[in-house]
């Protein structure tokens, strides 16, 4: 006898009915119809302009609504679990979970975006997102780019875009980031990937500029060189190698920015035991004890100057770079803190 598949239904089993409003006038049947949701059309209409049009706009679904004989409304294109979760939240049902799996959150975001009711579920969405945001740099979690866009969560969207630029080591997987919504997401995902690559190109340059003043002044007029500066240059590269940051092209590409910053903050102070009269050690740009602090300041500045992408401006098709001193023309508050990395920076 063949085993029954876990997701198969015994013959003749009736759909489960979940009463979210005992006086409801509509029964929603999402997906395959295995679950029936007794809901209030008034509650749905208040939360969603799409449902409002469906139940008050003269469509077939709006005819003869009555709690005595609730109207059946099939929703075959909607995910059953996601629609159930949405209706629970809208009807203040305590059975809504405190945590959700990432895949369930993606389905939930899709339903909320379709019915334009993200504002009504924002508190729940932020609770579910909180433990997931620190994982954005890991593979598979780039789908949070879609989730935060679909749920219209400007702050979380900004955090996700920043993390994808800062913490993502490998290229963004476009199929995962788009979550099957290429028309909505493909351009955005490609834009963030371009910014991530630009940021990765800036990092080696930052390390090189910290040592540049020493390199330029290491030779004496007779070509012999200043031993102290040459020593510092050697110690600088040696310290980076011991920290796993050198060679730059390999070390930096294998680390998230937070790890790079931590390693730089832990670099030892570099000083030279030898110094000849007339060398440039007294020069503010090449003081023996300044190179580590210079690098630390440069890396911190990179982190401070780059934030995330403004969701409102992206939705408004404003693909521009804003500085803290130049909010967008629409007056979006988020733009006051936005600076996407470019080579000029």
Is 156 part of a structural domain of the chain? no
For residue 180, what is the DSSP state? T
In this prediction, residues 282-294 reach a mean pLDDT of 64
How many domains in the chain? 2
The verdict on 37 and 127 lying in the same domain is yes
pLDDT in tens, 17-54: 999 999 999 999 999 989 999 999 999 999 999 999 99
The residue assigned the tokens 């005819």 is: 63
Question: Which residue, 131, 149, 176, sits at the end of a domain?
Answer: 131
Residues 127 and 201 in one domain: no
Average pLDDT over residues 147-154: 96
Residue range 135-139: average pLDDT?
A: 93
Quickly state the pLDDT bin for 274 (edges 50, 70, 90).
low
Query: Among the listed ranges 83-97, 111-125, 262-276, which one has the minimum average pLDDT value?
Result: 262-276
Residue 78 has pLDDT above 70, yes or no: yes
Where is the domain boundary, 111, 131, 151?
A: 131
The backbone torsions φ and ψ at residue 39, rounded to the nearest 5 degrees and listed phi first, read -135, 170
CA triplet 24, 30, 35: central angle to 5 degrees? 70
pLDDT the model gives residue 307: 76
Residue 197 pLDDT level (bands cut at 50, 70, 90): very high
* 3: in domain: no
Looking at the structure, tell me whether residues 109 and 203 fall in a common domain.
Answer: no
C-beta atoms surrounding 54 within 10 Å = 20
Residue 30 lies in a domain: yes
Distance CA 71, CA 97 (A): 28
- With 0-12 / 13-18 / 19 or more C-beta atoms within 10 angstroms meaning exposed / middle / buried, residue 89 is buried
Percent of the chain with pLDDT over 70: 79
Confidence (pLDDT) at 107: 97
Nearest one of 345, 344, 314 to 334, comparing CA atoms? 314
Give the confidence band of 337 by pLDDT, cuts at 50, 70, 90: very low
Q: Which of 104, 160, 108 is nearest to 130 (CA)?
A: 160
In this prediction, residue 342 carries a pLDDT of: 38
Judge whether 139 lies within some domain. no
120 and 209 co-located in one domain: no
CB contact at 8 A, 243 and 292: no
Sequence-separated (6 or more) residues with CB below 8 Å from residue 183: none
As a three-state string, the secondary structure of 186-208 is HHHHHHHHHHHHHHHHHHHHHHH
Judge if 222 and 122 occupy the same domain. Answer: no
For the chain, how big is the Rg over CA atoms in Å?
A: 28
Mean pLDDT of 293-298: 91
Degrees to nearest 5, angle at CA 192 with 187 and 197? 125
Would 144 be classed as within a structural domain?
A: no
The per-residue pLDDT for 344 is: 36
pLDDT higher than 90, residue 150: yes
Q: What is the pTM of this model?
A: 0.82
The pLDDT confidence band at residue 211, using thresholds 50, 70 and 90, is confident
Q: What pLDDT does 227 receive? A: 74
User: Do 213 and 125 lie in a common domain?
Assistant: no
* Comparison of pLDDT for 14 and 158, the residue scoring more: 158
Strand-strand pairing, 26-30 and 35-39? antiparallel
pLDDT band at 100 (very low <50, low <70, confident <90, very high): very high
Residue 126 shares a structural domain with residue 205: no
Residues 6+ apart with CB under 8 A from 225: 218, 219
Q: Token pair of 265, please? A: 């903050």
Is 24 inside a domain boundary? yes
pLDDT in tens, 235-256: 899 999 999 999 988 889 899 9
> Cα separation of 327 and 234, whole Å?
44
Average pLDDT over residues 140-165: 95
* DSSP for residue 113: H
pLDDT of residue 11: 55
207 and 292 assigned to the same domain:
yes
Q: Which of 136-140, 184-188, 231-235, 273-277 has the lowest mean pLDDT?
A: 273-277
End position of a domain, from candidates 269, 287, 304: 304
Asked whether residue 345 is domain-assigned, the answer is no
Q: Which residue segment(s) compose the domain that 72 sits in?
A: 16-131
pLDDT at 277 over 60: no
pLDDT at 220 over 80: no
Q: Are residues 206 and 123 in the same domain?
A: no
**What pLDDT is stored for residue 102 in this prediction?**
96
Q: What CATH number is attached to the domain comprising 84?
A: 3.30.710.10
Residue 169 belongs to a domain: no
């Amino acid at each position: 006898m063949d085993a029954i598949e876990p997701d198969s239904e015994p013959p003749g089993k009736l759909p489960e009915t979940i009463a979210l409003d005992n006086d409801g006038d509509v029964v929603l049947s999402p997906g395959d119809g295995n679950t029936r949701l007794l809901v209030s059309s008034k509650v749905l209409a208040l939360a969603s302009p799409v449902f409002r049009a469906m139940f008050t706009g003269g469509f077939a679904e709006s005819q003869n609504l009555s709690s005595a004989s609730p109207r059946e409304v099939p929703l075959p294109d909607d995910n059953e679990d996601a629609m159930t979760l949405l209706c629970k939240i809208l009807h203040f049902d305590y059975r809504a979970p405190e945590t959700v799996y990432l895949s369930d959150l993606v389905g939930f975001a899709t339903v909320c975006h379709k019915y334009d009711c993200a504002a009504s579920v924002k508190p729940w969405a932020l609770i579910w997102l909180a433990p997931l945001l620190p994982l954005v740099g890991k593979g598979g979690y780039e789908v949070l780019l879609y989730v935060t866009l679909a749920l219209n969560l400007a702050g979380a969207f900004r955090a996700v875009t920043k993390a994808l630029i800062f913490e993502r080591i490998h290229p963004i997987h476009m199929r995962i980031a788009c979550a099957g919504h290429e028309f909505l997401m493909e351009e955005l995902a490609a834009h963030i990937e371009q910014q991530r690559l630009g940021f990765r190109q800036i990092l080696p340059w930052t390390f090189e500029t910290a040592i540049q003043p020493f390199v330029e002044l290491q030779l004496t007029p007779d070509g012999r060189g200043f031993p102290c500066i040459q020593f510092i240059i050697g110690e600088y590269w040696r310290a980076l190698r011991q920290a796993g940051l050198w060679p730059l092209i390999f070390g930096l590409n294998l680390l998230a920015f937070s790890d790079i910053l931590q390693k730089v903050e832990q670099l030892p102070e570099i000083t030279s035991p030898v110094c000849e009269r007339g060398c440039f050690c007294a020069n503010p740009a090449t003081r023996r004890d300044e190179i580590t602090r210079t690098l630390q300041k440069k890396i911190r500045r990179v982190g401070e100057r780059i934030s995330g992408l403004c969701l409102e401006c992206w939705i408004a098709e404003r693909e521009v770079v804003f500085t803290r001193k130049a909010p967008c023309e629409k007056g979006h508050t988020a733009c006051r803190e936005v600076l996407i990395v470019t080579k000029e920076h």
